[in-house]
Amino acid sequence: MDFRLLLVGTFLVVCGCSPKIDDQREGLVVYAAGPRPLAEAVIQAFTAETGIPVELFAATTGQIMARLEAERYRPRADVVLFASELAAAALKQEGRLLNYSPSGLETTHGDWHDPDGYFWATSAAVVGVAVRSEWFGLPLDWDDFLGGNFSGRVTMPSPSRSGAAGDFVLAYVLREGEEAWYQFRSARRSGLQFSAANSQAITSLLIGAFDAIVGAVDYLIYRQIENGADIRMLYPSSGGALVTRPIAILSHTPFPERASRFVDFYFTPQVQQMTADFHILPACRETAFSAIRAVDGMPPLFSPDIEQALSHHGIVMRRFQVEIERAAVVRERRK
């Protein structure tokens, strides 16, 4: 489907083959989007508690989707943890996820999960704007940064490289319609630059090459603040884009019982607190935020309808690449 093709790009297709599954393994194979240290800590705790070994492949959501496609006819993964709900929804639409009801969901944000029970948000991040500290405290909204009203230098992670930035662009376009495209074009004319990915954007902010990152993933910024960086997370007054981080069981797994235990483990108080300690929003409403994140609290949020987002994703991403990211732009002179 369209979303999958955009994420995968060039991939291996083997026709006329039935899936060949290794059912002699002793443990589980888990594919997980970052942060890698969190996935490793969860797996270590799970193995210590259950005795079930786990093999981890840690990568970006796009890389995970590419690997799942390349392995379509020789599947390896049992459980997948994404940093984008759209990726999980795409696999659900293709019939590649197992229906299940994890234990522990009664204390979580119910509207973060798939209502049909094919994927479940373990946590979430909020996409907003990261600024150098001298810019913090100004009453700014998205249209200030995108409409040319912010006098500082602005960068944005490439939506084709950053799943969170792509999710923000999609959510913002679906909320604002053609006004969003007008603002994106204004931002480019005013000097908006694109970084290859989140890490490059953050580095450029830290060294002072830019004053703000539009489309910044908040937990990555809080990690920099924890390490002493003189930057802040700013949530525009109309809200930040909520990006949930779902976990799912692949339908081909020969170990649905072990996979179910692993999914359940993510909703235990222990793992939810481990997640919060990485400055990520825990799915459990009763889990305390990290001390750094608690300073800002929960901002107003917006997110697209998932069915609408799936149907519009390819069109929006292609238009953004052609009209905004890769377009030849004549910059406006600042007065």
- Stretch among 11-25, 115-129, 212-226, 244-258 having the lowest mean pLDDT: 11-25
Residue 261 maps to a domain: yes
Token representation of residue 274: 């481990």
- The angle at the Cα of 313, spanning 249 to 279, to the nearest 5 degrees, equals 60
- Stretch among 100-104, 159-163, 169-173, 183-187 having the lowest mean pLDDT: 159-163
Q: How many domains does the chain have?
A: 2
User: Do 251 and 108 sit in the same domain of this protein?
Assistant: yes
Token representation of residue 47: 């193995």
Quick one: pLDDT at residue 331?
A: 56
Quick one: pLDDT at residue 24?
A: 65
User: Do 229 and 255 sit in the same domain of this protein?
Assistant: no
Residue 56 maps to a domain: yes
| pLDDT surpasses 80 at 25 | no
Which residue reads 């990555």 in tokens? 220
Residue 224 maps to a domain: yes
Quick one: pLDDT at residue 61?
A: 87
Of 222, 327, 318, 288, which Cα lies nearest the Cα of 5? 318
Strands 301-302, 281-282: pairing is: unpaired
The domain in which residue 14 lies consists of 2-124+242-294
130's CB contacts (< 8 A; 6+ apart) are: 202, 205, 212, 213, 216, 221, 231, 232, 233, 234
| pLDDT surpasses 90 at 244 | yes
In sequence order, what DSSP letters do the residues of 85-140 get, joined into one string?
HHHHHHHHHTT-B-----TTGGGB-GGGS-TTSS-EEEEEEEEEEEEEGGGTT---
31's CB contacts (< 8 A; 6+ apart) are: 56, 57, 58, 59, 64, 67, 68, 77, 79, 80, 81
Q: For residue range 314-325, what is the model confidence (pLDDT) as tens digits?
A: 999 999 999 999
pLDDT band at 329 (very low <50, low <70, confident <90, very high): low
Q: Where residue 53 sits, what CATH number does that domain have?
A: 3.40.190.10
pLDDT band at 234 (very low <50, low <70, confident <90, very high): very high
Strands 154-157, 193-195: pairing is: parallel
Beta carbons of 216 and 233 less than 8 angstroms apart: yes
| pLDDT surpasses 70 at 116 | yes
Beta carbons of 244 and 108 less than 8 angstroms apart: no
| pLDDT surpasses 70 at 5 | no
Token representation of residue 259: 């996979």
49's CB contacts (< 8 A; 6+ apart) are: 265
Give the 3-state secondary structure of residue 216.
Answer: strand
Q: Is 143 left (phi over 0), alpha (psi -120 to 50) or beta?
A: alpha
What is the mean predicted confidence (pLDDT) over 33-51? 96
Please give the model's pTM, rounded to 2 decimal places. 0.87
Residue 330 maps to a domain: no
User: Do 65 and 140 sit in the same domain of this protein?
Assistant: no
| pLDDT surpasses 50 at 327 | yes
Share of the chain above pLDDT 70, in %: 91
Q: Which of 141-145, 236-240, 275-279 is predicted most confidently? A: 275-279
Count CB neighbours of 124 within 10 A: 23
User: Do 14 and 153 sit in the same domain of this protein?
Assistant: no
User: Do 178 and 76 sit in the same domain of this protein?
Assistant: no
Strands 154-157, 120-132: pairing is: unpaired
Half-sphere exposure of residue 244: CA atoms within 13 angstroms, side-chain side: 26
Residue 163 phi, psi (nearest 5) = -60, -40
Q: DSSP state, 116?
A: T
User: Do 314 and 189 sit in the same domain of this protein?
Assistant: yes
What is the mean predicted confidence (pLDDT) over 161-173? 91
User: Do 258 and 311 sit in the same domain of this protein?
Assistant: no
Residue 163 maps to a domain: yes
- Stretch among 28-37, 132-141, 311-320, 325-334 having the lowest mean pLDDT: 325-334
